[in-house]
Amino acid sequence: MGAIEKQRNILDFTLSSLGRRKGKNIALVVVYTFVIFLLASVLFFTHSLKKEAFLILQDAPEMTVQRLLAGRQDLIPTHYIDTIRQIRGVQSVAPRLWGYYYDAMSGANYTLMVNAELNDRAGEIIIGNGVSMRSMSGKRNQALRRNDIIPFKTYDGSVLTLKVRGLLPFASELVTADLILVSEADFRKLFSIANDQATDLVLNVRNAKELSTIAAKITQIHPDTRPILREEILRTYDAVFDWRGGVIFMVLSGVFFAFIILAWDKATGLSAEEKREIGILKAIGWETSDILLMKFWEGSAVSMAAFFMGIFLAYLHIFLASSILFEPVLKGWSVLYPSFRLTPYISVYHIATLFFLTVIPYTVVTIVPSWRSATIDPDSVMRM
């Protein structure tokens, strides 16, 4: 009998013996699957958000310069542009005007941003999908359309009405859900911002290796500024999402330990029938190593079934059901939720990580019990 044939026969026997104790094993697999489902969901979700953030930030400016006033971000005088442009290696400097507007009617915060294309068409705006849904009553059939009017309350108390010129494409929903593009004149009128000030400055730099030198020079010339690099934003997002995922993992570790105790308990508490079975197997010539092999296959079958089902369910949950379970926790808080589907993505790395976090602890706690059952004396069991 070849080695493979032997393994096959033992696996065959194991599966049929698992089938004979359906109730007990199904309960274990269900709990196991649930644990893996939870962990896998967290992993997939945080990773997809990271990827989404990465894709969005690809187009972000290489460097943003903000001005700080008493440790808080403040408007930056536009004459800083001239001095920054003088720095060797800086390709272009442009002011940006953007901010948040709280809409009392819908209770939502909009992001307002000046778009150069609207500068010669003051009074018109382009809005994101979330804004169009929320502005009126939230009902879909009453969504804002082209040429509708939105009233804004300016910072000097008057009312500014702006006409919707168009909607932003749905594809960019994640970033544009709460976005309103306005002209520079309207923006300054709305927030009473003087003409020589901007929210921040964005820089293009010819050589990426010079970024840190240029940033250092900017802080030297204007000590009240804070340059932020795109790489730093990316890095921070990465760390923040990892951290959120890790925290959820720690919270779930309670569930996990409960599961481990259950697995341990199931593995140690062999029924008299199972003991008899092992006793008979040994009496008819199975060796201890064969029983251990059987136990190995049993553990593998249970683990693999739960592992793949858990991953499959997590996949459905995150990428098809929009991760309903913990979306609010991991994504952050907002009135205008962008509704979006994450790009499905699973890597071998995720599977390996999950394997380490679930299957290995399970295996470790079942080694000793399965060894104990494999070394049962046949006669002592059968005499019972």
Partner 1 sequence: MIFHPGILALLLGSALTTSMLCYSAYEGVRIIRNWDIRSGSERQLELERRTYLVSTVMSYVLGFQLLSLFLFIYTADTLSPLFIGAMCAAGSLNVNGFGYSALVLKIVSCLLAGLWLVVNFTDNRAYDYPLIRKKYWLLLFITPFLIAETSVQAGYLLGLRPNIITSCCGTLFSTDAKTVMSEFLALPRLLSEAAFFLSAPITVALGLYVYLRSKGAYLFSIVSFIHFLISIGALISFISIYFYELPTHHCPFCILHPEYGYVGYPMYLAILVSAVSGLGTGIINPFRNIASLCNVIPRIQKRLALISILSNSAFVLIAGYGILFSNLSMAAY
Q: Which residues bind partner 1 (CB under 8 A)?
A: 42-43, 46, 71, 212, 215-216, 219, 226-229, 231-236, 238-240, 242-243, 245-247, 249-250, 288-289, 292, 296, 348-349, 352-357, 360-361, 363-364, 367-368, 371, 374-375
| C-alpha dihedral sign at 51, 56, 60, 63 | negative
Alpha carbons 61 and 199: distance in angstroms, whole number? 14
Q: How far is the CB of 180 from partner 1 (least distance, A)?
A: 27
Q: Residue 97: what are its φ and ψ, rounded to 5°?
A: -125, 120
Collapsed DSSP state (helix, strand, coil) of residue 112:
strand
Q: How far is the CB of 369 from partner 1 (least distance, A)?
A: 11
Alpha carbons 121 and 98: distance in angstroms, whole number? 18
Contact 119, 140 (CB under 8 A): no
Task: Count Cα neighbours of 157 within 13 Å in the Cβ-side half-sphere.
Answer: 0
Shorter beta-carbon distance to partner 1: residue 30 or 258: 258
Shorter beta-carbon distance to partner 1: residue 71 or 157: 71
Shorter beta-carbon distance to partner 1: residue 189 or 217: 217
Shorter beta-carbon distance to partner 1: residue 240 or 382: 240
Q: Residue 10: what are its φ and ψ, rounded to 5°?
A: -65, -40
Q: How far is the CB of 43 from partner 1 (least distance, A)?
A: 6
Q: How far is the CB of 226 from partner 1 (least distance, A)?
A: 5
The amino acid occupying position 222 is H
Which token pair is 255? Answer: 């569930």
Q: Cα 232 to chain center, whole Å?
A: 19
Shorter beta-carbon distance to partner 1: residue 46 or 176: 46
β-partners of residue 227 are: 65
Which token pair is 37? Answer: 């489902």
Question: How does DSSP assign 179-236, residue by residue?
Answer: EEEE-HHHHHHHHT--TTEESEEEEEES-GGGHHHHHHHHHHH-TTEEEEEHHHHHHH
Q: How far is the CB of 353 from partner 1 (least distance, A)?
A: 5
Shorter beta-carbon distance to partner 1: residue 51 or 153: 51
Q: How far is the CB of 77 from partner 1 (least distance, A)?
A: 19
Which token pair is 105? Answer: 């009617």
Residue indicated by tokens 């330990």: 257
Alpha carbons 91 and 382: distance in angstroms, whole number? 86
Shorter beta-carbon distance to partner 1: residue 238 or 274: 238
Shorter beta-carbon distance to partner 1: residue 84 or 118: 84
Question: How does DSSP assign 234-292, residue by residue?
Answer: HHHHHHHHHHHHHHHHHHHHHHHHHHHHHHHHHHH---HHHHHHHHHHHHTT--HHHHH
B/e letters for 353-367, b = 16+ CB within 10 Å, e = fewer, are ebeebbbeebeebbe
Q: How far is the CB of 63 from partner 1 (least distance, A)?
A: 9
Q: Residue 234: what are its φ and ψ, rounded to 5°?
A: -60, -45
Shorter beta-carbon distance to partner 1: residue 250 or 280: 250
Q: Cα 181 to chain center, whole Å?
A: 27
Q: How far is the CB of 34 from partner 1 (least distance, A)?
A: 18
Shorter beta-carbon distance to partner 1: residue 18 or 43: 43
